[in-house]
Structure 1
Amino acid sequence: MRIKENIICLIFSLFCFCGFSQQPEIKQILTEKADSLLKIRPVNYNDINQTFRRYQRDSSNLRFLADYFAENKYAAGESYALNHLGVHNRNVSQYQKAIELHKKAIEKAQEGKSVELEILNYNMLGVVYRRLDALRTALDNHYEALSLAENIPNPSMSVKRSLAVSSNSIGNIYLSLKQYELAIEQFSKSLEIETSIDNKLGLAINYHNTGAAKEYLGRMDEALEDYQKSLLYNLQINSKLGEVICKNSIGQIYIKQKNFVEAEKLIQSSLSIAKTLKDAFHLAGVYINLGWVQTELKQYEEAEKNLMEGLAISEEHDFTSSISEAYRLLSALHEVRGRFPQALEYHKKYQAFNEEIANEKNSQYVNDLIIKYDAEKKNTQIKLLAQENEIVKLKYRRNQSVWIVSLIVTSLMAILLYILYRQRMLKKEKRILTLQQKMLSSQMNPHFIFNSLNSIKLYIINNEKENAVYYLNKFSKLIRLILSNSNKQEASLAEELEFLKLYVDIENIRFDNQLNFEISVEADTDINLIKIPPLVLQPFIENAIWHGLSSKEGEKNIHLFIKSDEKDYITISVVDNGIGREKAQQIKASKIVKDESVGVMLSISRLQHFSNNLNHKAALLFNDLFDKQKGPSGTEVIIKLPLT
């Protein structure tokens, strides 16, 4: 026993000695190769890569090269090493470090005037952001790479590969946005380039991504064929990560085809390889798919264990898509096991998480637009001020005499009056724009859109195809009318009534078609010639529905009367048989969250502003209606709009 221990210690000592003794030797080789490269200082990726290709997988070698090239002020070489360090950090899920390295590599590529390395790093930076679900930032980086690459007259092999990577990555972003046909189009472009340069890794990646798009489209046999092609290429180039990804995807297809036994074998095989790698993103996906198939095979204990493991990895690295999928599958697992409270809890987490992701993406997108708009607006103002200032200077220098000075004074007075007039007009236009923006945001109420789509989704789930298509067409027409009218200052009364009918039809889905909406137009009234502010009546209808009728039992009626009973005026009355304003106010006061009638207040402001340009003023009156027993029987809103 003692002899055996001594032998083991001796072998371990020899191994350590050999390992440490090789380090100075490798550094010496790297130094010699780096010195030979420093004599010619190439800026093309392939020229540098031919020298250091075999040392890319070792991060310590890459760090040594980056420091050595920085010390010798060889920016292109430093960019090359930093890029591969960034890829290494991305593959072990160190995403923030990868972002820092690629950004620094871009700076060095620009400093060293290496467009190829700049393109490459923009693409790699986009890939990292895509892993983090930062799709807008990812897309910006890939388009930057694409823009640079397309401006090169005779692209090298490296630039062609970068073009393929850009198309592939843009396709992946379309994939995330569920634009599957557009994604396939981008992957096909990338495949064409990769085939022309015989890049097996690129072919493996693009065939897999094409398979993913076809899987989402339900074309399972085509998807399986593409995944198998990708696996074949990955095996040829001995890519363990590619093998993991493909086997996991093929296993997922088998699950959807109810071939659970084969699916489990393949995913288990994928897991054994994934554990040896440091790629947390794909390891989490394998655990989650394994938990899914084990749920189908009724191996519930193992399924829960693997799903929880996948969820833990995803939460640690903030893989939002994987977290969402894990919540969904855990909810399904607990449901089949009869653990309904746990199933409900995970289902709520799944819904809340998805809503949070959507809100964050929407908020980020809107903030980006606002910042971009503000920046453009400020730049325009600065340019205009600079131009005006230059004009004043030129006039002042050109005029010396008293008569000319008098002319300048007169001109300045005229300019001042014009500026004051323009300021007044600009304020007025700004007020119109503000009201239009507020009107659009009130019409595009996210709760209304979300609830409407949910109602339509319910028809789809219940296989009520005709109702789903009928209301989806109405909903799309409604949104189109909102967007088209948002830029108009006035619309015909006929168009407004058409919009109201569509709006009530959509709201009626949630009221099980209990809303009775009727429009009565006086015989002599031509609603096509009467102009009113667009979408101005909808808040009054919405108010009648949600404050007057939603809490009412029994028949729910809204009647819209249009008549010309006074000269130069049109009278529009909205009458409901709801609970009345007093009762509605009591209900509102009892709520924890108070709903503000922003839409009605906005409509009042718009009516007042609209009538400012006419000879008469708009008027608005609210009447409480009572039955014979003096009980509340609804509300009447009377709107008097001037015609001239």
Structure 2
Amino acid sequence: MFSKGACFLLIFTLWAIGSTRGQDSMLVSRTLDSARALPNDTGKVNWFIERGKAMSYYFDARKEENPFFQEAIALGLRLRYARGLTNVYNEIGTNKRNKSQYILAADYHEKAIKSAEETRDDRLIGLSLNNAGVDNRRMDQLQKAFEYHFRALHAAEKVNDVRNICVAINSIGNIELSTNKFTDAIGHFTKALALEEQSKNDLGVAINLGNIGYAYQGLGKIDLAIEFYKRSLAVNQRLKNNTGMAICYNSLGAAYQEKKDYAHAMDALQRALAVNDKVDDKVHMAESYLNIGKLLSRQGKHEEARAYMQRSVDLSLYWGFKSMLMEAYKALAADYKDSGDFKRSLEAQDTSLVYKDSILNESTAMVLAQTRAIYDVDRKDNQIKLLEHDKQLSEMRTKRNIVYTFSTAGFLLMLAIGGFFYIRHRNLEANKHTLQLELRSLRAQMNPHFIFNSLSSIHRFIWSNNQEEASDYLTKFSKLMRMILDNTQHTFISVNKEVESLRLYVDLERLRCNGVFEYNINVADNINDEEVMIPPMIIQPYVENAIWHGLVHKSGKGVLDISITANGRTLTCIVTDNGIGRKRALEIKQKKGETHRSMGMQVTEGRIDLIRKINNSRETNVTITDLEDESGKPAGTQVAIILPVEHIF
């Protein structure tokens, strides 16, 4: 553990940071430098995590990544300290979720689950699964969220972890509430309420009472809903929880309004407005103004209603609540329409749509930014793993070379002319090294080419589909992006990884093409797809060409077949389509004025040429065959890629 002198230095530095509330970045840097000098052990990982939690406000205020958490991850990966990695991934994921960065949060919490499973600690597993479930609920991926919370409940019940049992049950109830399964939701909320009461967790009691009220209101049992809202309100009042009280008053206002008891509804909403004066987040006050405006509008008091709606607009403009502005202008449009002022109604509706478009654009930009951040984080995390992987491969190759050395013992007599062979070998190695550098350069060109084409596809997909479909497409694309960027860091990858990324790519293209073609991917039984290696993205350009120049122009159902076979020392990859053929595709390109050749195919042909030179293999090549039917008409294209067989060891 830490020496006395080192501990004193850390304590003094941390006291200095605490006394200035984290204002001096130099003190943070000195603290990190002091900690890095200490022995690398699990205690140091835990110290980084605790210090990162204490300093979160400092880095959040500056919109910076928390370096203490990053140090904990780096050291945890080197030490293979699964418990520490679980804790830090959960901390970062929750921090990202609190900033509405749900994609990043889900990525970190999935890492936490994997690390927690290595610890075999059911409490940690349940906590991590619950966190991932909440992330997916926020992204409206309810089925996936339900699965995470159900697994969390099972893990927590094994060790009687009441806290995570309550979270899982309450979350499952909320999912059922979102899908209008109100009776099932009441059952789960009631069970969670009993556990919270046993644990004397008053906040949990208040939340579950309110949730039961929502469920009864969904069933149309308004009086029961009001009863539970009042019980929740009483607990929140005892806790002096202003936010909880505001939520309860708003819920009561909505319930009374549904009963057409407008006097009690107005009283509840006015009380919500009064409580909101004590709540820091002014979005609740803007919501209360809007709800009162809607209530007055429903009673035909249009002038008074608009006054409250305008207060909501003014407050939302000041604080930048775009979603609230969208709803407020939508309510104004409805009120103007009811009073016969159609011109102002149209103007308000147009303004509401402007804010809706702005929210959609921000959401799309946020998804792209989070996808890029996930790649950057994964790249950093994988550096240590890659070093370990390369070390293992190096050891395996060393053992193989020892066997080869013994097998060449019979050629010791040739040492007399070794000088000649050494010079010749050195020249060949220099030439081979040059070819490998050229191959690496060509392989690197595939990333920007593929990313450019994919982003273009996403752009068209977003403009031609609704927001939910575009978000689903973008989530799948981010998974493919990470896979491609990870695979192309290696000269060779296993066949199963290449097939996995290829299958995901074709699924996305098929989705974007509205299912105009079917596809099959077959790997021969004599191939061990985990040991046989293949250059990454060597097949994809030909698959892309088959889809966009052959199948999308075909009338009728298209079929794409991809097969990988091995024969001796050669690996054969065949891409076959029943499209319109190269001649017809060329005519279409000329009509559109497109004269350039596919960059992906051009780069891939260059890669295959270099592979042939490096391996001195005449068989390595690409052949393209135009297929014809019995009457001699074009019936598609077949591309055969022949490569030398490579193994992982």
State the TM-score, normalized to the length of structure 2.
0.48
Q: Which has the larger radius of gyration?
A: 1
State the TM-score, normalized to the length of structure 1.
0.48
